[in-house]
Structure 1
Amino acid sequence: MNEDSATPRYVALIGDIRGSRELADRNEVQNEFKSVVDSLNNHVPDRSIASPFTVTTGDEFQVLLTDAKAGVEAAVSASDQFHPAGLRFGIGQGELDTAVNPDQAIGMDGPCFHRAREAINSARKDGAWIRVAGWSNGIDDHVNSMFDLVQCVREDWTDRQAQFGRALKEEDTQKRVASRYGVSKSTVSESLSAGHVHAVRAGENSLGTLLQDTFPGGESP
């Protein structure tokens, strides 16, 4: 990377709906998409948001962040909420050439957004869930390959596995998830195990940490 290391770096995240033009209920899906995007402004800590999650078209959003792990966590949260419809994401890091817009993530430009756009275009071309760009070729390639593996598992989740996986992040324990849905703890445990949900969460967390640790000025919390 050629930018001056003293220049502030940002992480741009762009997300969109996979195959949105082919959806029969596109308007309904877009409304749900907007609701999910709006929720991310409450889900992601304010300290990590330089410019808020903003729907830029009916099926695309972008956000400007100050740390990389928040970008991965936002992509995971949005994907969890939007199951079974699929989302894809491009994450790019770098400078910002324009002033930060604190009200909405539009009207800004710079390498972080260029790389995020490059990444989501790559995801679109490859049918991928998440692509990153702007770290180093080695890190970009490694992270993208690992996200592909995580995607392979996530896309086999049943609705129940996705539901329990999302609830586990909110409830913390399998017992509370079971109580929430009126099922036995063993039902929750067996469903999570069959979907390899714990391994997926560990992988998502590890990749977010790696991107944060190698983000200039970033460090794991």
Structure 2
Amino acid sequence: MEYITIICDIKNSCQLDNREEVQLQLICTLKEVNQRFAEQIAAPFLITLGDEWQGLLHGDGDYQEIIDFFKEKLPDICFYTGIGIGEISISNFELTVNQLDGPSFHKARKAIRLAKKLGYSLVLLK
């Protein structure tokens, strides 16, 4: 079964004057996205590294709708997005998203690195 892994990372977050405010805004947004899109989410979005967040959607999830939601709720924040579509090898959904693993996650991690390297807002790997 295929899943969609989404990894987002705030661009130049260390240079933000209001970093603490942005982090609090991000936390509220993640809570809201997890509630609003619960039926599409296999593992809820959470902050994984500094100003990076990650979530896992079921294969039929609408990743563009969720990215648009992030853009709407975080209008003054530019972020990179890496999307990986594929299977997962650890699928115990009692674990948090950062404890899961598999090709979908590996592709998303490669996609976010590529987005940062090339300066793209979004990279999707299938």
Fold conserved between structures, TM > 0.5: yes
Residue 56 of structure 2 corresponds to residue 64 of structure 1: yes
In terms of fraction of residues, the more helix-rich structure is 1
1:48-94 per-residue CA deviation (whole Å, 9 max, x = no partner) reads 11111111133111111113552221111101111122122111011
- The 3 A distance-change label for structure 1 pair 118 and 97 is same
Q: TM-score, normalised by structure 1?
A: 0.53
Q: How does 1:111-150 map to 2 (within 5 A)?
A: 111-134=103-126
Cross-structure match for 1:29:
22
Contact 2:83 2:123 in 1 (8 A): yes
Note the residue ranges of structure 2 that are not aligned, 5 or more in a row: none
Q: What's the RMSD between the two structures over aligned residues? A: 1.5
Deviation at 1:104, TM superposition (A): 2.6
Query: 2:72, 2:119 → 1: CA distance?
Result: 18
Task: Quote the residue 2:93 is aligned against.
Answer: 101
* Shift in Å, 1:133: 0.3
Give the counterpart of 2:33 among 15, 36, 40: 40
Give the 3-state SS of the residue equivalent to 1:106 in structure 2.
Answer: helix
Aligned to 1:212: none
1:103 and 1:36 map into 2 onto residues whose CA distance is 21
Q: Which has the higher contact order (CA 8 A, sep 6+)?
A: 2
SS at match of 1:117: helix
Q: Where is the strand percentage greater, Structure 1 or Structure 2?
A: 2
Unaligned runs of 5+ in 1: 1-7, 135-221
Q: Percent identity?
A: 32
Alignment coverage as a number of residue pairs: 126
**Mapped partners of 2:40, 2:35: distance in 1:** 11
CA distance in 2, matches of 1:79, 1:40: 12
How many Å separate the matches in 2 of 1:122 and 1:69? 23
> Does residue 1:16 correspond to 2:29, yes or no?
no
Shift of 1:128: 1.6
SS at match of 2:77: coil
Contact 1:30 1:58 in 2 (8 A): no
Whether 2:77 is the aligned partner of 1:85: answer yes
The one-character-per-residue Cα deviations of 1:121-147 (angstroms, maximum 9, x if unpaired) are: 11111222111001xxxxxxxxxxxxx
Distance in 2 (alpha carbons) for counterparts of 1:14 and 1:61: 6
User: In structure 2, how many angstroms separate the alpha carbons of the residues matched to 1:122 and 1:18?
Assistant: 14
Matched residues in 2 for 1:24 and 1:123: separation? 24
